[in-house]
């Protein structure tokens, strides 16, 4: 599933082409994806101006000029493809088509159909069922060591599992949690409550740095993810932990190697030599 850097990369690509534009035509080719699509979605979007394009956690938010927001989630394999004009041919698994007043066309393509859309009042988004349970955005200034400490206090789960809990911090996924923990020198097996305090102050800047580095590289391409331009992401070439089982640790001065364990059914990659 695309994680925060991939979704942010997609958001930036869409913003460059769609912000301030009017949707002159919208085509919905099936009634449902992961969930049923909102009724009369094409009719309700046609003629609306996209005032802003934001992200919350792994969600794309298209703020419209009528006080509504189109909420989009890429799911496991969803892609937003940008074209200068509407393509003559229909590509496989293209389920929703957005055409702007300058001809720019965005197609939502998803062969697994785990992605989804919803339409909600912009003012009510904080209370929406998708967003009400979410923790802070990791790239916001409000996400500090003190805030992470507050959210980890009393949690006896491993820190890896705690960081994947979207109620603790929103948008983090398996890849970037592994990378941030290695950069911070914190074992993924350490109990979350023991990270509160000094270790949290060390971890938060590393979370921000790894996310910003990944965004600058256009995200990570492992399977289905591509940018809106069709380009692949490149951050996978800079992984220090994820997918590097048995390879030497890349941290200067460390003579350890990357190990793989399974936590909560998911692979965790870490260095036993420098993560404590």
Catalytic residue among 3, 6, 8, 15: 3
d(CA 260, CA 268): 6
Catalytic residue among 11, 56, 58, 155: 58
Per DSSP, the three-state class of 127 is helix
Between the two ends of the chain, the Cα-to-Cα distance in Å is: 28
d(CA 271, CA 229): 35
3 is catalytic: yes
Q: For residue 88, with 0-12 CB atoms within 10 Å meaning exposed, 13-18 middle and 19 or more buried, which class applies? A: exposed
Distances (CA, A) of 70 to 6, 52, 84: 19, 11, 22
d(CA 24, CA 8): 25
Contacts of 144 (CB under 8 A, 6+ apart): 204
Distances (CA, A) of 141 to 166, 177, 209, 259: 18, 19, 13, 33
d(CA 77, CA 31): 19
58 is catalytic: yes
266 is catalytic: yes
Q: For residue 154, with 0-12 CB atoms within 10 Å meaning exposed, 13-18 middle and 19 or more buried, which class applies? A: exposed
38 is catalytic: no
d(CA 118, CA 109): 16
Catalytic residue among 54, 251, 260, 266: 266
d(CA 167, CA 181): 19
Catalytic residue among 2, 5, 138, 188: 2
Catalytic positions are 2-3, 58, 266
């Amino acid at each position: 599933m695309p994680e925060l850097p991939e979704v942010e990369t997609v958001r930036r690509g869409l913003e460059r082409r769609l912000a301030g534009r009017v949707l002159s035509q919208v085509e919905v080719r099936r009634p449902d994806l992961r969930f049923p699509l909102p009724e009369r979605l094409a009719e309700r979007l046609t003629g609306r101006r996209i005032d802003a394009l934001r992200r919350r956690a792994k969600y794309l938010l298209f703020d419209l000029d009528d006080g509504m927001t189109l909420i989009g989630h890429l799911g496991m394999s969803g892609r937003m493809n940008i074209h200068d004009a509407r393509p003559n041919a229909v590509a496989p698994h293209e389920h929703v088509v957005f055409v702007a007043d300058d001809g720019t066309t965005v197609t939502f393509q998803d062969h697994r159909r785990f992605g989804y859309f919803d339409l909600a009042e912009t003012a009510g988004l904080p209370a929406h069922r998708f967003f009400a349970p979410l923790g802070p955005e990791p790239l916001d200034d409000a996400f500090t060591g003190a805030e992470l400490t507050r959210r980890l206090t009393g949690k006896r789960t491993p820190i890896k599992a705690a960081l994947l809990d979207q109620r603790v911090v929103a948008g983090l996924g398996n890849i970037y949690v592994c990378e941030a923990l290695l950069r911070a020198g914190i074992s993924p097996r350490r109990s979350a409550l023991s990270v509160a305090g000094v270790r949290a102050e060390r971890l938060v800047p590393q979370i921000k740095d790894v996310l910003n580095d990944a965004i600058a590289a256009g995200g990570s391409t492992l399977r289905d993810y591509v940018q809106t331009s069709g380009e692949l992401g490149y951050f996978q070439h800079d992984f220090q932990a994820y997918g590097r089982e048995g390879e030497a640790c890349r941290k200067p001065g460390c003579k350890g190697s990357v190990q793989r364990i399974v936590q909560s059914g998911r692979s965790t990659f870490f260095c036993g030599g420098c993560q404590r």
